[in-house]
């Protein structure tokens, strides 16, 4: 064998060629697995988009959007919120600022928006529990609902005069 020219009949050379082929074969298997995983991720992404589209068609979401729009379009309430934000540091010292805060907290529009937010959160929690339950019953989903233990919001209805 001359220097630099491989002897194709040499067993060591053939072993190196086979090892390189196995290396590339393993490499292509890894790439194929990665492509399969990428396809599954894209498939999950598409399914997630479908779930989101379906969720957005729920009545609780439509109700929330209506109440959020009502909240945003209430000019008096928005002005009161702006005034409160500008005077928050005077809350402990000025009775009129405390009274403004109380009137905002008792505002029917804000209350209805919070109830609608809670309803959407409940629907999201229910969906998360179904997904988690499909994986394992041992997965805990934190609902963190403000009215959670008390039942439906009808029990929490307030009367405003």
pLDDT level of residue 141 (50, 70, 90 thresholds): confident
Q: For residues 69 and 91, what is the distance between their CA atoms, to the nearest angstrom? A: 28
Q: Is 142 helix (H, G, I), strand (E, B) or coil?
A: coil
pLDDT level of residue 10 (50, 70, 90 thresholds): low
Range 16-32 average pLDDT: 58
Handedness of CA 110, 118, 70, 63 (dihedral sign): negative
Question: What residue has token string 């907290």?
Answer: 105
DSSP-assigned letter for residue 137: T
Report which of residues 22 and 160 the model is more confident about.
22
User: What pTM value is reported for the model?
Assistant: 0.62
């Amino acid at each position: 064998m001359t220097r630099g020219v491989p002897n194709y009949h040499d067993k060591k050379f053939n072993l190196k060629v086979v090892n390189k082929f196995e290396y590339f074969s393993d490499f292509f298997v890894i790439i194929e697995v990665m492509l399969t995983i990428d396809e599954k991720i894209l498939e999950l992404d598409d399914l997630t988009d479908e779930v989101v589209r379906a969720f957005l068609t729920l009545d609780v979401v439509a109700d929330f959007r209506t109440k959020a729009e009502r909240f945003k379009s209430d000019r008096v309430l928005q002005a009161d919120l702006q005034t409160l934000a500008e005077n928050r540091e005077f809350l402990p010292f000025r009775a009129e600022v405390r009274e403004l805060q109380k009137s905002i907290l008792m505002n029917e529009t804000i209350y209805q928006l919070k109830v609608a937010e809670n309803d959407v959160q409940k629907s999201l929690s229910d969906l998360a529990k179904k997904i988690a339950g499909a994986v394992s019953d041992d997965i805990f989903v934190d609902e963190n609902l403000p009215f959670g233990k008390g039942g439906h919001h009808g029990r929490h209805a307030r009367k405003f005069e």
